[in-house]
Amino acid sequence: MAAVEGIQMDDHTQMSDAVLWRRATAGQPDAFGQIFDRHVQAVYRHCFRLSGSADAADDLTSAVFIEAWKRGGDPPAAEDGSLLPWLLGVATIVVRSRSRSLWRYRRLLHRLPEPRPNDDLADEVADRVDAERQIQDLLVLVRHLPKHDQEVLALCGWAGLSYQDAASVLGVPVGTIRSRLSRARAKLRELTADRQEAR
């Protein structure tokens, strides 16, 4: 808590997402910035895993936060006040919607990155290419699963959401989350075994 001229200033870092959201909707954009800072990397990873593309994930990440803001209302927070499960749910929708194309175009035309030292850029590009190769290899298997099972795998298996939070995000009973995840894992085991045999 910081004080300026005797006035107690709010410290956004100590507030739950739910409180920050209310502050943001009351006209404090910086509160939304704090939510962004907390969850940008988790949202980015989720977008990357679903899209299989680092470039797409860059653009989708912005789109997710803007879409979340546009949806507005009183978003469902987890028990600890976190909006991350909800944001990942929004990300899931954004990735499978046209927003992907839309934001890719925005970037293509108007979002050329600022120039950076060549060595840094080369390292980053190499890392991104390597990660993309790995995720695309994995997605070849995962895309054999039904769409709903893929989403549960990404939310629970990869992003680490609880069954309860995933159920809330996807609007289905907890039992459905359990059965989808169980089915997804069984199918992945089968696919992995098939792949190893083929090699």
Partner 1 sequence: MSNDDLQPPSVTMAPDRVRQARADVLQHVKNRPRSKARRHGRRWLIVSAGVAAAAIASAAAAVIIDRPATVRDELRCYSVADVGDIDGSFPGVSLVRVGQDGKAEDVASAAISRCADLWRLKMLREGQRQPGEPDERNPNGQVPPLVACTLSNGIAAVFPGREGTCEGLGLPRLAK
Asked whether position 146 contacts partner 1 by CB under 8 A, the answer is: no
Cα 171 to Cα 198: distance, rounded to the nearest angstrom: 38
Cα 199 to Cα 195: distance, rounded to the nearest angstrom: 6
Q: Which stretch binds partner 1 (CB under 8 A): 7-15, 39-47, 75-83, 87-95?
A: 39-47
Candidate residues 78, 91, 153, 155; the one interacting with partner 1 per rule CB under 8 A: 153
Candidate residues 9, 81, 130, 194; the one interacting with partner 1 per rule CB under 8 A: 130
Asked whether position 33 contacts partner 1 by CB under 8 A, the answer is: yes
Candidate residues 116, 119, 147, 197; the one interacting with partner 1 per rule CB under 8 A: 116
Asked whether position 160 contacts partner 1 by CB under 8 A, the answer is: yes
Long-range pairs for 93-100 at CB < 8 Å and ≥24 separation?
A: 93/67, 94/47, 94/60, 94/63, 94/64, 94/67, 95/47, 95/50, 95/51, 95/60, 96/50, 96/147, 99/60, 99/63, 99/67, 100/51, 100/56, 100/59, 100/60, 100/63
- For residue 161, report the phi and psi dihedrals to the nearest 5 degrees: -70, 150
Asked whether position 141 contacts partner 1 by CB under 8 A, the answer is: yes
Q: Which tokens in the block code for residue 127?
A: 């890392």
Contact residues: partner 1, CB under 8 A = 24-27, 29-30, 32-33, 36-37, 40-41, 44-45, 48-49, 54, 57-58, 61-62, 65-66, 69-70, 72, 98, 101-102, 105-106, 108-111, 113-114, 116, 124, 127-128, 130-131, 134-135, 138, 141-142, 153, 157-158, 160, 185, 188-189, 192
